[in-house]
């Protein structure tokens, strides 16, 4: 056996070292069983000692009372002969024997008691430490005696007075008690070991389950969860935390997988188109000018699409890895908005763009990405608003208990977004209706614009909300914190 008693006795240090690497349940069991053993040993030792003391003390008191009584009777002048103890001279159970200077017994109250010589020969050399030092303990073959001796000079004669008290029954009782206490201690210790082993194993069962589950979890198989124990204890909390962590990891992995598959899907379309046109060009391009022009234009447009998509993917990848560098500085928002709108008016021919209100306000942010964010919203407004539509920007300063903010509303009167899609449009690659978006000016979206914008907003503490009515238009509300 690994933790056998023999091994413990032979190499205690080595076994203690081995215990250090044992299971927690073994450690807990050993620790508490040892504490219990110590308590039981102390209790039984002290109980035994107390009982021993009180029994011996009782015998001493009885002997002393008897001795005092004898002295009192002698003071009264009673002569020492066989009639000396005519009334109750000593307490019951105490034996008195009086010997004169020649060694002759002049009085004894129990003739059957062992002779003095034999008793003196059987006197224990080292009596127990709780016995009175002025008295002797004699251990005869089948009896134990407490013996007190008193030399008295009386009427010119020297007398030896021997007082005895048998304590055999008490000693027997005490020895039996000792054995019982010892057995109980060992039994208690063993019980604590067994019970402790099973209880601690049971208590720590959820941890073993967690370990087993954790071993089975792989990236491809993340659906396993730990059974949460019904008790609201630390282990249940640990299991719940572990499960939540797995939920988050699974979500992250799923998102990653979707991202990769969506990205490959998005890249496949332009590549297929480019391949198709290059086939066309190799077959007819040399002879037909029109085919040549169309092919080159299409290949170029698809390559541009692909480039834009790759740029966006790289941006999100950098954002995910916290590698997207932001150079934050103080920016006058009104100037930035005015500049964006001015440039937009130059290129937008099919829509009217208006900046109705443009309050002054300093923001702290990265100029390039904040500009990019506004462009994403305005791009969408032009893309999803039919020709002749109106795009309106209002930037209004608001100061309240929470601080000072610039509330910017970017509205269009375009196709709008249905209620059920309004949250989803911020997800990566989410497009409301691919066929519909293709129709709008022939520009296809990738579904990444709003997720990039929401990342930029998050990095600047900007809150985004969206109101939209299908067929009526969309408004993006931005709440941008201003510098104090
Ligand atoms: P990208 O911007 O990456 O080129 P995209 O415009 O399709 O592609 P997002 O900007 O993320 O992607 O927008 C997601 C979807 O939300 C769009 O496909 C469109 O369906 C819808 N959407 C966004 N803005 C508007 C808007 N102003 N009006 C109507 N629909 C919108
Ligand atoms: Mg967009």
Q: What is the distance between the alpha carbons of residues 53 and 48, in angstroms, rounded to a whole number?
A: 9
Pocket residue to mutate for ligand 1, from 383, 439, 443, most atoms within 8 A of Cβ? 383
pLDDT digits 0-9 by tens, 68-104: 988 888 888 887 777 787 777 888 889 999 998 888 8
Question: What is d(CA 187, CA 194) in angstroms, rounded to the nearest whole number?
Answer: 11
Compute the distance between CA of residue 334 and CA of residue 356 in angstroms, rounded to an integer: 12
Structure confidence at residue 478 (pLDDT): 98
Looking at residue 368, its pLDDT comes to 96
Which residues of the chain register pLDDT less than 50? 1, 434, 437-441
Which bound ligand lies closest to the C-alpha atom of 436?
Answer: 1
Query: What pLDDT, on the 0 to 100 scale, is given for residue 275?
Result: 94
Under a CB-based contact definition with an 8 Å cutoff, are residues 96 and 106 in contact?
no
Q: Dig out the tokens for 287 from the structure.
A: 């002879």
What is the 351 CA–ligand 2 centroid distance (Å)? 17
The predicted pLDDT at position 438 comes to 45
For residue 437 and ligand 1, the question of a CB distance below 6 A is answered with: yes
Q: Which pLDDT value is given to residue 454?
A: 95
CB 445 within 8 Å of CB 382: no
Mean per-residue pLDDT of the chain: 88
Write phi, then psi, for 465 (nearest 5 degrees). Answer: -135, 165
Binding site membership of 381 for ligand 1 (Cβ less than 6 Å): yes
Q: Strand 144-154 vs strand 328-332: parallel, antiparallel, or unpaired?
A: unpaired
Mutate to test the pocket of ligand 1, among 449, 456, 464, 477 (most ligand atoms within 8 A of CB): 449
The model's pLDDT over 214-240, given as tens digits with 9 standing for 90+, comes to 888 877 778 888 888 787 888 888 889
Paired strand residues for 138: 123, 145
The predicted pLDDT at position 101 comes to 86
Helix 24-75 to helix 12-20 angle (10° resolution) is 130
451 Cα: distance to centroid of ligand 1 (angstroms): 10
Q: What is the Cα–Cα distance from 124 to 138, expressed in whole angstroms?
A: 5
Closest Cα to atom 22, ligand 1: which residue? 380
3-state secondary structure of 469: strand
The domains located in the chain, with CATH, are: 1-215 (no CATH), 234-318 (1.10.287.130), 326-481 (3.30.565.10)
Pairing type for strands 403-412 and 328-332 reads unpaired
Short-list 275, 257, 393, CA closest to 333: 393
What is the distance between the alpha carbons of residues 448 and 316, in angstroms, rounded to a whole number? 9
Location of structure tokens 């059974």: 227
CA 85 to chain CA centroid, Å, is: 81
Question: Cβ(389) to ligand 1 under 6 A?
Answer: no
C-alpha 178 – ligand 1 centre gap (Å): 90
Give the integer Cα–Cα distance in Å for 248 and 479. Answer: 29
Length of the chain: 484
Alpha carbon nearest to ligand 1 atom 17, residue: 431
- 316 Cα: distance to centroid of ligand 2 (angstroms): 14
Distance, in Å, from the CA atom of 105 to the CA atom of 299, rounded to the nearest integer, reads: 141
Angle between helices 168-203 and 205-216 (to 10 degrees): 30
Verify whether ligand 1 is closer than 6 Å to residue 425 (CB atom).
Answer: yes
The model's pTM: 0.61
| Ligand 1 and 431: CB distance under 6 A | yes
Ligand nearest to the CA of 429: 1
Which residue, among 422, 404, 419, 403, has the nearest Cα to 464 in the 3D structure? 422
Cite the DSSP H helix spans in 149-233: 168-203, 205-216
Residues whose CB is less than 8 angstroms from the CB of residue 125 and which lie 6 or more positions away in sequence, other chains included = none
Residues of 277-300 as b/e, b for ≥16 C-beta within 10 angstroms?
beebbeeebeeeeebeeebeebbe
């Amino acid at each position: 056996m690994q933790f056998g008693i023999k091994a413990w006795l032979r190499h205690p240090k080595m076994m203690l070292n081995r215990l250090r690497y044992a299971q927690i349940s073994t450690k807990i069991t050993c620790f508490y069983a040892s504490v219990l053993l110590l308590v039981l040993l102390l209790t039984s030792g002290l109980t035994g000692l107390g009982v021993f003391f009180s029994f011996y003390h009782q015998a001493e008191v009885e002997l002393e009372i008897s001795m005092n009584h004898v002295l009192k009777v002698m003071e009264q002048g009673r002569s020492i002969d066989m009639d000396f103890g005519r009334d109750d001279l000593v307490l019951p159970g105490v034996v008195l024997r009086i010997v004169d200077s020649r060694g002759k017994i002049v009085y004894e109250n129990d003739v059957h008691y062992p002779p003095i010589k034999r008793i003196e020969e059987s006197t224990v050399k080292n009596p127990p430490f709780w016995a009175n030092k002025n008295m002797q303990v004699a251990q005869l073959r089948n009896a134990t005696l407490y013996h007190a001796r008193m030399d008295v000079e009386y009427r010119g004669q020297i007398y030896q007075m021997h007082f005895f008290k048998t304590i055999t029954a008490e000693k027997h009782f005490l020895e039996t008690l000792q054995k019982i206490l010892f057995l109980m201690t060992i039994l208690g210790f063993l019980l604590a070991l067994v019970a402790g082993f099973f209880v601690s194993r049971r208590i720590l069962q959820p941890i073993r389950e967690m370990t087993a589950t954790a071993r089975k979890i792989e990236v491809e198989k993340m659906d396993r969860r730990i059974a949460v124990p019904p008790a609201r204890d630390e282990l249940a909390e640990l299991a719940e935390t572990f499960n939540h962590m797995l939920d988050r990891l699974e979500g992250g992995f799923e998102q990653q997988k979707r991202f990769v598959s969506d990205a490959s899907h998005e890249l496949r379309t332009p590549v297929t188109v480019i391949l198709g046109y290059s086939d066309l060009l190799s077959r007819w391009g040399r002879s037909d000018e029109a085919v040549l022009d169309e092919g080159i234009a299409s290949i170029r447009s698809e390559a541009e699409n692909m480039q834009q998509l790759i740029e966006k993917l790289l941006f999100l990848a950098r954002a995910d890895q916290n590698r997207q560098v932001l150079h934050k500085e103080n920016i006058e928002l009104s100037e930035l908005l005015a500049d964006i709108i001015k440039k937009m008016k130059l290129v937008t021919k099919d829509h009217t763009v208006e900046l109705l209100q443009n309050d002054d306000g300093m923001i702290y942010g990265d100029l390039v990405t904040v500009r990019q964010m506004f462009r994403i919203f305005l791009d969408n407004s032009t893309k999803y608003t039919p020709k002749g539509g109106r795009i309106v920007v209002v930037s209004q300063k608001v100061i309240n208990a929470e601080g000072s903010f610039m509330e910017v509303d970017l509205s269009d009167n375009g196709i709008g977004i249905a209620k059920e899609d309004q949250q989803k449009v911020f997800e990566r690659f989410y497009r409301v209706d691919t066929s519909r978006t293709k129709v709008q000016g022939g520009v296809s979206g990738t579904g990444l614009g709003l997720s990039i914008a929401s990342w930029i907003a998050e990095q600047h503490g900007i809150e985004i909300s969206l109101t939209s009515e299908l067929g009526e238009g969309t408004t993006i509300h931005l709440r941008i914190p201003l510098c104090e």
